[in-house]
């Protein structure tokens, strides 16, 4: 069974930065695209970013474009999300996921990011 | 951007009831449609991919249908563990988009 474990969340002030990590195991990480999805408190799911298996293709939601950067380290089975210029509206649980296109997303357990002064 | 619209936003039902949730895409997405179940405080769980393919371990009372723009998730006989929020998601193009969710509540 796919295992994805997020880390790096916490409380950060508006305008600050945070780097989320996702440790992947129990599958061949380098063969899969990965994605980040977030969920604000009491709200629905919002797709954030996508990165292809070899990092050649990256996509971002308009709401984070220019502020967030997705990356991966296939040698260490790790996915990252660098979040800069954070705003209150970025407060959410962030999930990393293995993105298999029409076969769907396999999810981590999520990590809370709170942007507040 | 493809908009995904779910209906209803919530439904109250009893154990044993048949529940149907619909998801409409703003443009054709073939069968690039996925359904997830989410319980409070938990990550979403993949239920159905490719519009109609049940994931391993998901009970057969769940089924999905549709193609193009109109899709349906059906729970044939609602069980206590099925009370949750259900989301559709299009995997046809970027940005990936989700429906707003349908909350299935106990009547």
Q: How far apart are CA B103 and CA B107, in angstroms?
A: 12
Assess contact for A45 and B98: CB atoms under 8 A.
Answer: yes
Please name every residue paired with A93 in a beta bridge, in sequence order, or none if there are none: A39, A112
Tens-place pLDDT, residues B12-46: 999 999 999 999 999 999 999 999 999 999 999 99
**What digits encode the pLDDT tens for the residues A60-87?**
999 999 999 999 999 999 999 999 999 9
DSSP string, B18-40: -EEEEEEESS--TT-EEEEEE-T
End-to-end C-alpha distance for chain B, whole angstroms: 36
Q: Is B57 exposed, middle or buried (0-12, 13-18, 19+ CB in 10 A)?
A: exposed
3-state secondary structure of B76: coil
The answer to whether the beta carbons of residues B35 and B44 sit under 8 Å apart is no
**Cβ of B96 and A103 within 8 Å?**
no
In this predicted structure, what is the pLDDT of residue B107? 85
What does the pLDDT average to over B88-106?
A: 96
Of B33, B43, B55, the CB nearest to A107: B43
A108-117 pLDDT, tens digit per residue, is 999 999 999 9
Q: What is the mean pLDDT of residues B77-92?
A: 96
Q: Considering only the beta carbons, identify the residue of B50, B97, B99 that sits closest to A102.
A: B50
| Residue B106 pLDDT level (bands cut at 50, 70, 90) | confident
């Amino acid at each position: 069974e796919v295992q994805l474990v997020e880390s790096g969340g916490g409380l950060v002030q508006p305008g600050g930065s945070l780097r989320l990590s996702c440790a992947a195991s129990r599958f061949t990480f380098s063969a899969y695209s990965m994605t980040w999805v977030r969920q604000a408190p009491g709200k629905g799911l919002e797709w954030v970013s996508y990165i292809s298996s070899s990092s050649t293709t990256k996509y971002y939601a308009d709401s984070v474009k220019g502020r967030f950067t997705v990356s991966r380290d296939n040698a260490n089975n790790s996915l990252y999300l660098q979040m800069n210029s954070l705003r209150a509206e970025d407060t959410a649980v962030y999930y990393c996921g293995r993105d298999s296109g029409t076969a769907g997303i396999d999810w981590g357990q999520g990590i809370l990011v709170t942007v507040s002064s | 951007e493809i908009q995904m619209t779910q209906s209803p936003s919530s439904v109250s039902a009893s154990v044993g009831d048949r529940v149907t949730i619909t998801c409409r895409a703003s443009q054709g997405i073939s069968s690039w449609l996925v359904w997830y179940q989410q319980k409070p405080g938990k990550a979403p769980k993949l239920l159905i991919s490719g519009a109609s393919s049940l994931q391993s371990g998901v009970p057969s009372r769940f089924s999905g249908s549709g193609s193009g723009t109109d899709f349906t998730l059906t729970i044939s006989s609602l069980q206590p563990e099925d009370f949750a929020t259900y989301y559709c998601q299009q995997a046809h193009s970027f940005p990936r988009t989700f429906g707003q969710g349908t909350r299935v509540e106990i009547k």
